[in-house]
Amino acid sequence: MTVETQARLRDVLHTVAPHKDLPADDGDLFATGVLDSFATIELIVALERTFHLTLPNEELTLQNFQTVSSIAALVDRLRT
């Protein structure tokens, strides 16, 4: 994953969950309360708009959205 992707992703997460403190890149976004089911849907829409991509249904897994690092890796993988 690229540093640029992680930085842009953190900006997106701050938009989706503005009153939450983001954990380290490998911290669990669900366990820390940053993401819940509603925020995850908002995040998916924001990711598609920000990174100009479509998230296939098979990529919508807990593992892909659990951490900043896993989301950044997903975005980079879909952009190549």
pLDDT tens readout for residues 21-51: 999 999 999 999 999 999 999 999 999 999 9
pLDDT digits (tens, 9 = 90+) for 65-74: 999 999 999 9
Residue 10 pLDDT > 90: yes
23: enclosing H helix or E strand: none
Our CA angle for 66, 68, 69, nearest 5°, is 95
**Nearest partner of 16 among 34, 30, 29, judged by Cα:** 34
14-23, long-range: CB < 8 A, 24+ apart: 15/46, 16/42, 16/43, 16/46, 22/68, 23/67, 23/68
pTM confidence score? 0.93
